[in-house]
A = this chain, B = another copy of it.
């Protein structure tokens, strides 16, 4: 059943297993190394199980014995992209729910909510997300009152673009039992207006309503996964970190793998230590399904996000003087959790947006590195706002700075308001991270941003958004080179997930994960690069996406 859906959706053919190598020939092929060197080739020889045997130049002799040969007619071939920070199931669920990320104003959002509610009469809860009051220039959070009358007596529950706040109508709050007496939980905040909950719930406070949302059924999860996977493959992403895999997410990935429907490679980071222990028992799982799935790490959260003022800052927000955000855990608590994960051999990945949260996590790493002194690759996710005094600390203990170029272009105006000019010196500091010797891995944080890696790539070396703003780039001193960004979106993403011996480049022995695109990304200007179309995506030597 699922297989039928997948095959129908993607329309690819799987080559029959055979004993001889195969050849993808007549390509304008290129791959990148850590030191920024671009290797060019015209043919790619693969084993029957889809690993790279060698890259051939135009004058190299082709193998005599081949199982099959594909003629790519001179098109451009690149290594598949790796998104170092995404949320696979959320991407899928978002695709099935109401998407407000393109809404330009509160009025437009309201119209779309009403239309979606009318088009989906069987849904008792209108779920969705992507709203951003900053983009609407609303000057305030939206409220439950704004939602009145849009969906009759049904509940409405919509998450902010960054996932760190959600917006409820009166029916949702009623179903969840939220009243004027409800108390903000640690690490969260109920927005209030006139002594009543206003309808917006920040960070941990989202749980107060979220727990009342009906759980998705197994078939919903399967459908959501397949939607997410189709999106990633069509964007040229052949491997991704999944930053916060719940037990039900994991069971979904296993169903897909068991049924032969898992195409994209998933480096899974368990949502918390308990999930990791339940799944892995005594440590990370092995690589499963021909290197398509492994739970190798644990995701923890040190703080919230900037947009909702949940990021934990050393000094108050510039646009909200009384607030500095919240740390989710005390120093000893987060350190103990990180230690528990590391003791069992899990990689540790901690979300840290604000400068105080980053300092907390850096401190914990420095202390734990005394005990766990091997190749640990401690990951700090986002590493978004860092006190300049702390930046050099990223260069030690093998820390991975897992950052998202499109956040900088999306957040620019908001970040300036929240932080003020002085504090921007250590914000979105990609080049400084590299210069300090940190491993820089790039991702999109989908579904917060769209997963399209070409947008991230262009933003990384221009510090401009899709419309070319601002002229000259936003704090252009933190741009990286085109090659550095390419590596951060490919090989570095594999390294950040302890997968560099499996995939990430097109060197011999690696899984043959590659894409065919309609232009040469080393020659294209930024807006041209953003417009790149992925024509085919191959994972492990098998074509899993072809644009029709």
Residues of A within 8 A of B (CB): 1-2, 217-219, 221-222, 247-248, 251-252, 254-255, 258-259, 277-282, 285-286, 288
Contacts and interface: CB of A to CB of B under 8 A. Distances in A.
Given A251-B281, A278-B248, A258 B288 contact: yes
Given A258-B286, A259-B286, A286-B259, A281 B247 contact: no
A280 B254 contact: no
Given A247-B247, A259-B286, A286-B259, A218 B280 contact: yes
B282 A219 contact: yes
10 contacts: A217-B277, A218-B277, A218-B282, A219-B282, A251-B279, A252-B281, A255-B280, A258-B285, A258-B288, A259-B286
A251 B255 CA distance: 13
Contacts of A282: 1-2, 218-219, 222
Interface centre among A2, A278, A281 (most CB of B within 10 A): A281
Contact of A281 (B218, B280, B281, B285): B218
This protein's copies in its complex: 2
A282 B254 CA distance: 13
A170 to B, nearest CB: 31
Contacts of A221: 281
A247 B219 CA distance: 18
Contacts of A258: 285-286, 288
Q: Which 7 interchain pairs have the tightest Cβ spacing?
A: A218-B281, A219-B282, A255-B281, A218-B282, A218-B277, A222-B281, A258-B286
A254 B289 CA distance: 13
Contacts of A2: 282
A116 to B, nearest CB: 25
Given A251-B281, A252-B281, A258-B288, 8 more contacts: A1-B282, A2-B282, A218-B277, A218-B278, A218-B280, A219-B281, A254-B254, A259-B286
A525 B286 CA distance: 49
Contacts of A288: 258
A131 B288 CA distance: 42
Nearest to A256: B281
Contacts of A252: 281
A289 B247 CA distance: 21
